[in-house]
Amino acid sequence: MAHAEAAAKFNENEAKVNWHDKALWFVRQKRDKQAHKVQGWEQLRDYASALKANVLSNLDSYLVQFEENAKKNGVIVHWAANAEEHNKIVHSILQKHNAKKIVKSKSMLTEECHLNPFLEANDIEVIDTDLGERIVQLAQEPPSHIVLPAIHKTKEEVDELFQEHLGTKPSGGNPEYLTREARKHLRSKFLQADAAITGVNFAVADTGGFVVCTNEGNADMGAHLAKVHIACMGMEKLIPQEKHLGIFLRLLARSATGQPITTYSSYFNKPEEGKEMHIIIVDNGRTEQLSREDFRRSLHCIRCGACMNTCPIYRRSGGHSYDATIPGPIGSILSPGKDLTKHSSLPFASTLCGSCSDVCPVKINIHEQLYKWRQIIVKEVPQPFVKKIVMKAAGSVLAKPKTYDFVGKSTRFMLKHTPKSLINSKINTWGHARDLPEVKGDNFEDWYKKRQKNE
């Protein structure tokens, strides 16, 4: 289903969409408040971006350095070219330890690799322990946001899910009560787990260590109680030196949720005595993205979710409408690299307003990359007839200043005089829920000329 159709479905429940929109905008505002409090915030973003660019340009040597140091620390390092290999490696580690009960903290990478269904098919219980992820796991849905996985669920829906699966009492969706019950339920899972899987927020080349950030403490509860800890990381998670963690940890939580830092930022270097620690370094399309000059900066992403919270399309269409592991603006530049035909509508799910690029802590030029994908897609993917004609016309108009001027004038004429029946007609999907704006007076050029003449 194309993004616009899926978004239309999400929009059937107007009250919910409005709530979703406002809730995410509120998170965006919290981000602004925190960012403005930091002396040198823009400098931090510049450094982070330059560091990531340096990492990508030396990725092979940093990977080898990281591996070497991790091994020295007694960590077992694995390499996976794709999702299938990743899942098999996880499974073989679990088999070796006869591990049947697994707790997993948030990791978009394991979502990307569809690890849960793979392990479940092999008779292994995997429990997602982040509360939001547990909610969507019980609902048998994918997360709809990378930081707020259950942002699309109302508290009443969570109440019903918990009644059904955890045997809670009806509470009308009392968040305190439901969280307490989840704490009890998941605590028993932590205590019984044979192995813990976590993601990786940052891997440090010069120490071989890695950092995992959570607010709930679920990554630590899992990793420190179980005998085996498996950390799964996309290869772009590397940073050069430990001191650079200062830069990234200052940016991450502020950008994500408007907190000055996550509750826990845990830095793993060596396994505890008698325990095993594994790291799986995963490619799964990343080297290919690295080869695309126009799109490689998307690999700077530290998965903070800020571009989603600020995006006017995301806020009003919901994460599921993107039908991709990573939704929102950044997902819309990552997904087409994986499957251009399946995800061809995503780069069009944007107003190109540029708000995503403005908030991105690692300064990815997201909206420019969206525009670049559009150019590739109209060439390579068959387009619906109406869109094709319109794009052609628009292209030839924008290319010629004289015609642009004429079309501009006539558009303003049309805006004033087009009958409503035409705007809200069936062919023009844009007009389904919209009216054209009221036109006041001059266009910019006329206004500017008049101003120059002091009219």
Q: Of 356-375, which residues contact ligand SF4 (CB under 6 A)?
A: 359-362, 364, 366
| Distance separating alpha carbons of residues 252 and 60, to the nearest angstrom | 25
Spatial CA neighbour of 316 closest among 71, 73, 22: 22
Could you say which residues in the range 158-187 bind ligand SF4, by CB under 6 A?
none
Residue 262: name its binding partner from other proteins, ligand SF4, none (Cβ under 5 to 8 Å by kind): other proteins
Could you say which residues in the range 253-272 bind ligand SF4, by CB under 6 A?
255
Q: Token pair of 143, please?
A: 């997360």
The 3-state secondary structure of 280-294, one letter per residue: EEECCCHHHHHHCCC
Taking residues 340 to 369 in sequence order and writing x for each that binds other proteins by CB under 8 A, - otherwise, the string is: ------------------------------
* Count of residues in contact with other proteins, rule CB under 8 A: 93
Residue 311: name its binding partner from other proteins, ligand SF4, none (Cβ under 5 to 8 Å by kind): none
186 binds other proteins (CB under 8 A): yes
Q: Considering only the stretches 113-121, 217-225, 296-304, 441-449, report the one whose residues sit in contact with ligand SF4 under the rule CB under 6 A.
A: 296-304
Could you say which residues in the range 393-422 bind ligand SF4, by CB under 6 A?
none
Residue type, position 244, single letter: H
| Distance separating alpha carbons of residues 444 and 448, to the nearest angstrom | 6
Nearer to other proteins among residue 282 and residue 356 (C-beta): 282
Residue type, position 160, single letter: E
Q: What is the DSSP letter of 82?
A: S
Yes or no: say if 146 and 108 are a contact pair by the CB < 8 Å rule: yes
Q: How many other C-beta atoms lie within 10 A of the C-beta of residue 415?
A: 13
User: Dihedrals φ, ψ of 140, to 5°?
Assistant: 55, 50
Q: Write b or e for each residue in 19-33: b if 16 or more Cβ atoms lie within 10 A of its Cβ, otherwise e.
A: ebbeebeebbebbee
| Cβ at position 300, least distance to ligand SF4 in Å | 7
249 binds ligand SF4 (CB under 6 A): no
| Cβ at position 43, least distance to ligand SF4 in Å | 17
| Distance separating alpha carbons of residues 14 and 329, to the nearest angstrom | 23
Q: Considering only the stretches 5-13, 56-64, 351-359, 445-453, report the one whose residues sit in contact with other proteins under the rule CB under 8 A.
A: 56-64
Taking residues 184 to 223 in sequence order and writing x for each that binds ligand SF4 by CB under 6 A, - otherwise, the string is: ----------------------------------------
Residue 215: name its binding partner from ligand SF4, other proteins, none (Cβ under 5 to 8 Å by kind): other proteins
| Distance separating alpha carbons of residues 330 and 349, to the nearest angstrom | 11
| Distance separating alpha carbons of residues 106 and 223, to the nearest angstrom | 13
Yes or no: say if 368 and 329 are a contact pair by the CB < 8 Å rule: no
443 binds other proteins (CB under 8 A): no
Nearer to ligand SF4 among residue 208 and residue 327 (C-beta): 327
27 binds other proteins (CB under 8 A): yes
160 binds other proteins (CB under 8 A): no
Contact residue for ligand SF4 among 301, 311, 324, 346 (CB under 6 A):
301
> What is the chain's alpha carbon radius of gyration, rounded to the nearest angstrom?
24
Report the interface residues with ligand SF4, using CB under 6 A: 255, 301-307, 330, 359-362, 364, 366
